Chains A and B, each alone.
Chain A
Amino acid sequence: DIVMTQSPDSLAVSLGERATINCRSSQTVLYSSNKKNYLAWYQQKPGQPPKLLISWASTRESGVPDRFSGSGSGTDFTLTISSLQAEDVAVYYCQQHYGTPLTFGGGTKVEIK
């Protein structure tokens, strides 16, 4: 299985400040034939299912604010919230879809400082 490791487990950021979440895979999720990273990011608020934010490591889904951005390639990825808003308080997960079984990171809880 491809193990997804997120860091930190939690972070507290002031409103308007930057939040950075890391995700590392135990093997590459970059598919050489199409140069795509098979890595997605989700946001989960209490009592709700995960919501897709970013696909292919860096493609924002329709309707997702542009303060959310994804970067990275191969085994190391980052989700950045450029200016944290109150509504961004949530747990964020990465997921690889390069291999089976599909696997998720352990989550990063983002709170307001």
Chain B
Amino acid sequence: QVQLQQWGAGLLKPSETLSLTCGVYGGSFSGYYWNWIRQSPGKGLEWIGDINNSGSTNYNPSLKSRVTISVDTSKNQFSLKLRSVTAADTAVYYCAKPNTMTSTYYYMDVWGKGTTVTVSS
């Protein structure tokens, strides 16, 4: 059974860059589109984007201008960077695995535990 372990800085100042990493353990890494999702009181669950092992990405248009998702296949890890953060980016950030390799339209069947990110001056 795949497990996802995530880590990164939890307290940022406005204008800084959020940086999180998710490690994939116990299952296949290749072939899936690995996801970042965030959850804030104001906007609920929001899909940020995904990446596959070849580095192909899809981003939510609402965040696309500030987001970069990258992959390190040698470590079975993928990362999220969100630039120029504001208080509105305060949320719990999750990494998640999709149910299928065969589509870019999927639901999530495994989630990381979440990282609380607070943006405050």
Contact = CB atoms under 8 A, between A and B. Distances in A.
Nearest to B104: A100
Cβ-closest 10 pairs across A and B: A49-B111, A40-B107, A104-B45, A102-B47, A101-B60, A97-B105, A106-B44, A97-B107, A52-B109, A101-B47
B108 interface: yes
Interface string A24-60: 0000000000000010101000001111100100000
Nearest to A102: B47
Task: State which size class the interface on B falls in.
Answer: 20 to 34
Contact of B107 (A52, A99, A101): A52
A103 B61 CA distance: 12
A103 B60 CA distance: 10
Give the secondary structure class of A's interface.
loop
26 contacts: A40-B108, A42-B108, A48-B113, A49-B94, A49-B96, A49-B113, A49-B114, A50-B94, A50-B108, A51-B111, A52-B99, A52-B107, A52-B108, A52-B109, A55-B99, A61-B109, A95-B107, A95-B108, A97-B105, A97-B106, A99-B105, A101-B60, A103-B47, A104-B45, A104-B46, A106-B44
A74 interface: no
A98 B112 contact: no
A61 B106 CA distance: 15
Interface string B88-121: 0000001010010000111111011110000000
Contacts of A61: 109
Contacts of B109: 52, 61
Contacts of B76: none
B33 to A, nearest CB: 11
A49 to B, nearest CB: 4
Contacts of A98: 105
Contacts of A100: 58, 104-105
Contacts of A51: 111
A51 B99 CA distance: 13
B44 A104 contact: yes
Nearest to A93: B45
A56 B47 CA distance: 19
Nearest to B49: A101
A107 interface: yes
